[in-house]
Homo-oligomer: A and B are copies of this chain.
Amino acid sequence: MKNVDQVIRAFRDRGYKVTPQRIAILEVLEGNKTHPSADDIYVSLRRKHPTMSFTTVYNTLETLKELGEIQELTIDQRRLHYDPDITLHHHIMCTQCGHIDDIFADYTQAIQVPEEILRRFHVNGHSVQFYGLCSYCQDHGDA
């Protein structure tokens, strides 16, 4: 995601309105490396924006996705997470606590799809994710 000011400009350019709610959500996302869920974002805004609604969080995330400013992570079957870093990278999630970390590696060349599949599919993308136990959970967890 570009910085807040630049995204605001992108909004104006596209005819999207710049509302206090949208700015607040952008501020939460800017430089955010925690891979928040919609709920995480909602909760982190509740104090300063008590009237913020889930609808607005979801709407804004959808808009930012459309603009290509954030990416949706499908690493967690239970809920979607969002990442303002749209450069090519991957993720690992702790199966105990749900913590998600970045993995900066490019596996594009490494995972070639067999010819046979290419004959039957127009491949648009792929997704690689890892699962494990983070340091904390290795020491404290018990599952």
Q: Please report A residues at the B interface, Cβ cutoff 8 Å.
A: 74, 77, 80, 92, 94-95, 101, 103-105, 107, 110-114, 117, 120-135, 138
Contact = CB atoms under 8 A, between A and B. Distances in A.
Contacts of A132: 121-125
Copies of this chain in the oligomer: 2
Contact of A104 (B111, B114, B121, B122): B114
Given A92-B113, A104-B114, A117-B92, A124 B128 contact: no
Nearest to A137: B122
Nearest to A130: B126
Nearest to A102: B117
A139 to B, nearest CB: 11
